[in-house]
């Protein structure tokens, strides 16, 4: 099995492999082009994202600067996903994000890890584990999601949280490490922020 194949199996591999690095550099060239676009070049940004990502649905918007080890080459976005400034996707293996999910500024989603054993780290070994984020989630400012995590649908991850274990659907989770604070409930259908009531349209 080649080093490139091991990127997606969870096995230890060497990321400085020539085949991997050549592909990575080509993808980073496209990422550079994306980050160099001007604010009025929205169509160009959309076209570049379709080239860069493994999959990306309609209506997605990523605010530059965007950072990604493989320029989104292992990222699978659904539709209508929004990412604010400085989204970092360490996409050494696959990252899956469901429709209508939002990322606050400075969020990091990492798939790459390194062995705890110093002898292996000194040789440059790495392993990867995919990350799955469900539909209609809100990942708050500065949150960090570590390798191998699955987050369900309709989840809110609080600002600054470090997600080190799986989070089920329909909950608010916060903290370091990230823990479930509560379920999404009927109160959330009445109030959108503190004592501010939702006025539902009758249309």
Q: Which residues are catalytic?
A: 114
Q: Taking Cα atoms as reference points, which of 130, 84, 125 lies closest to residue 111? A: 130
- Tokens found for residue 133: 């984020």
* Number of Cβ atoms within 10 Å of the Cβ of 137: 23
Q: Cα separation of 95 and 32, whole Å?
A: 20
Rounded (5°) CA angle 171-176-181: 25
- Is residue 83 within 8 A of residue 108, CB to CB? The reply is no
């Amino acid at each position: 099995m080649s080093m490139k194949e091991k990127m997606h199996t969870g096995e230890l591999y060497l990321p400085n492999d020539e085949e991997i690095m050549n592909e990575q550099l080509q993808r980073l060239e496209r990422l550079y082009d994306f980050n160099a676009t001007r604010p009025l070049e929205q169509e160009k940004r959309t076209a570049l994202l379709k080239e860069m990502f493994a999959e990306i649905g309609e209506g997605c918007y990523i605010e530059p600067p965007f950072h990604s080890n493989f320029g989104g080459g292992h990222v699978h976005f659904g539709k209508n996903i929004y990412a604010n400034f400085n989204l970092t996707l360490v996409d050494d293996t696959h990252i899956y994000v469901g429709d209508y999910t939002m990322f606050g500024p400075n969020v990091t989603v990492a798939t790459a890890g390194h062995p705890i054993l110093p002898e292996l780290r000194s040789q440059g070994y790495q392993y990867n584990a995919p990350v799955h984020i469900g539909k209609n989630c809100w990942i708050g400012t500065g949150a960090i999601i570590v390798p191998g995590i699955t987050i369900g649908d309709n989840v809110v991850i609080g600002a600054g949280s470090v997600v080190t274990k799986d989070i089920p659907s329909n909950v608010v989770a916060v903290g370091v490490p990230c823990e479930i604070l509560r379920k999404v409930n009927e109160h959330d259908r009445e109030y959108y922020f503190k004592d501010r009531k939702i006025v539902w349209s009758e249309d």
